[in-house]
Structure formats: structure tokens, C-alpha cells
Amino acid sequence: MVLTGVWNGGLSIMASSALKILRKLSREEAFCFFISIGNYIGESAASLEEFVKKIGEVDTKSLEFHLCRGDFEKWVAEVLGDEKLAEQVKGSRNLGLTGDALRVQLYGVVLKRCEELKRGFQTFS
């Protein structure tokens, strides 16, 4: 894949965007996992990398709860600032998967995007 970008003080706009998406978030911005309204499971993700890891670990009921509500795509778009991944997550929601099939699908989509962003940053740094 060939990446191009506009240079801005030593980093391309694309690399700068990748850094923003991959950044460590504050506790207030972290994604908190629930299995139902008001039922926090004690897990959170304060970066895209942590989000990938948690997708592989949390109860699938939590994944189902958040995916059907659109919580994942909203957090990815509004907090991380990654519209592309938000659309991909929305596509996963539209598949209607549950349980481990959902976990595998969601994990694959988010991991692929995370790796893509890391490669893009390395290309320009």
C-alpha cells in the first residue's frame, strides 16, 4: 500500500492522524465495558490497542450489548477520531453475529485497522 500525505512540521497529516487515533486516552475518555445498563464489568480500554485486547477478553454478552447499541462505533468515531474504523465496526454490527463469532469478527476488524495505522505511522516517521 502506498501512503501519501501532506507534511506538517516533520510528520505527514496521515501520520499525525494515526498518532491521534493510537494515543493513550485519559480515564474519562476510556471505553468502559458493561453487560447491561448500569452493569459495569470492571474492564475498560484507554487506547485502540487496549480495545483490541479487551475485545478478546471480555464476556461476549458485553460485546453484544455494546455493538447492538452502536456504542463501539460511536466511541471510535467521537473519541478516537477514526471514521473509517467506525464504519467497519458498523458493518460488523449489520452482520448480526453473536457470541464467539462476533468476538472473532470484531477482533479481526479492529486489529487489522490498528496494524494499518501503525504501519502508516512508521512509513512517515
Q: What is the mean pLDDT of each run of 10 residues along the chain (125 residues)?
A: 41 75 97 98 98 98 98 98 97 95 98 92 54
Position 97 scores a pLDDT of 96
89, 72 contact by CB (below 8 A): yes
Q: Quick one: cell of 112? A: 487489522
Phi-psi group of 44: left, alpha or beta (phi > 0 → left; psi -120 to 50 → alpha; rest → beta): beta
Total domain count, the chain: 1
Residue 1 located in a structural domain: no
Bridge partners, residue 34, by sequence = 40
Residue 2 located in a structural domain: no
Domain that holds residue 15: 7-124
Residue in 101, 24, 102, 32 with CA at minimum distance from that of residue 67: 102
